[in-house]
Amino acid sequence: MEKKEVVFGGVTLNGFLMLFAVIVWLLLSVAVFVLGVKDESVLLGIGGALLFVVGLVMTAGFVMLEPGEARLMMFFGAYRGTFSKTGFYWVNPFITTKKLSLRARNLDAEPIKVNDQVGNPVMIGLVLVWKLCDTYKAMFEIDAQTMAKTQNGIGTDVKSIMDALEQFVKTQSDAALRQVAGQYAYDDVDGKKNELTLRGGGEEINQQLEQKLNERLAIAGIEVVEARINYLAYAPEIAAVMLRRQQASAVISAREKIVEGAVSMVKMALDRLAEEQVVELDDDKKAAMVSNLMVVLCGEDSAQPVLNTGTLNH
């Protein structure tokens, strides 16, 4: 989206020089007023009072900015630009300013309950780093006043302004998190191991979440520096059932490995017996041997040896 922020082009003077000038102005106005009272001169008295009032008005033009801060400059409601020069300055005292922070801020969102692609309720949370990149949009494109925590609005206090913007970021981050989480399953479903999942997506899921957040927050002039899922679990009502499902899947996978290894070992044993001519086995004996070896290799209990004192011949 197009950036609407412009640099303030009004008159800005060195704050320390103007501070000295205003002090001198006030002292001279007091001197003129005292002289008018002493000489009983109405004109000097009124002139000294007016000069003093003007000096007081001039004191309202001092602004000071630290690194990572900016001020919106408004002249009777009209936006005149954003002032971001670090230091102590004096500007038109009739210009209203609102201070904003351009520093990166962190948001650790509480886990929320969402439904994944297959409808399973999961608890998911995120942590993101965000900062302002367009002060005009942040103040005028969204209704920050209604998001303030106080009934008096956000005013000009930088903390209340940024807290209101953070509330906007939190609301949009919840919506983006629900959108991304609803597109993927929590874990592999029905053996589809090549599909992207919330638990196994890792960096790719985080990148999609960051993209969705930037799309939603662009209207407020906010840029997401980084966004990551920091909490992911099944909802409590199905957590126990899904744990048993995961355990069953793990047992099945382990059994597959055991059977695969056992078949390989049995084949190797039969091949070695035949190659070295240790003993000649007919099909029935081979079947019995395979059965016994598979029981021993795949069984969970320790094998009990049985001594065969007979003969292999019919």
pLDDT the model gives residue 189: 60
Whether the pLDDT of residue 167 is over 60: the answer is yes
Q: Stretch 268-273: mean pLDDT, rounded?
A: 74
**Weakest-pLDDT range from 11-15, 148-152, 204-208, 269-273:** 148-152
CB 180 within 8 A of CB 213: no
The CA–CA distances, whole Å, from 286 to 20, 193, 246, 274, 297 equal 108, 38, 37, 11, 16
- Kindly report, residue by residue over 221-231, the tens digit of the pLDDT: 999 999 898 88
What is the pTM assigned to this prediction?
Answer: 0.69
Identify the residue with better confidence: 308 or 215: 215
Q: How many CB atoms lie within 10 A of CB 49?
A: 15
Instruction: Work out the mean pLDDT of the chain and round it to a whole number.
Output: 81
- Kindly report, residue by residue over 26-52, the tens digit of the pLDDT: 999 999 888 888 877 778 888 888 999
